[in-house]
């Protein structure tokens, strides 16, 4: 009986570990609301979280929301990027 219980516990732990996600989850419907000219604060408010990654270059910032979720038998990935110059959105990739 102890052996069966150990096997069941191991299976549960492996199932939990097998389900993984990275990056803030966001809705593409929210990303559709982001428009050129919006401020950084407005974009964060719409997206519901800060970006998962920010690249700073001379005079601009590229903000990226990247979410990846993997479960047994399926996976999902989505990304959304906004380039800011002087604190305003100048380019959007959905």
pLDDT in tens, 25-81: 899 999 999 999 999 999 999 999 999 999 999 999 999 999 998 888 888 899 999
36-62 exposure pattern, b = at least 16 Cβ within 10 A, e = fewer: eebebeebeebbeeebbeeeeeeeeeb
Return d(Cα 19, Cα 81) in angstroms, integer. 26
| Rounded CA separation 51/44 (Å) | 8
pTM of the model: 0.75
Look at domain 20-93 and name its CATH class.
alpha beta
């Amino acid at each position: 009986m102890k052996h069966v219980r150990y096997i069941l516990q191991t299976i549960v732990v492996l199932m939990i570990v097998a389900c993984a996600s990275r990056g803030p989850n966001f809705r593409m419907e929210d990303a559709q609301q982001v428009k050129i000219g919006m401020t950084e604060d407005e974009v964060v408010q719409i997206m519901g979280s800060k970006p998962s990654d920010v690249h700073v270059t001379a005079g601009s910032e590229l903000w990226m929301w990247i979410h990846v979720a993997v479960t047994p038998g399926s996976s999902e990935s989505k990304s959304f990027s906004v380039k800011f110059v002087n604190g305003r959105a100048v380019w959007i990739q959905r």
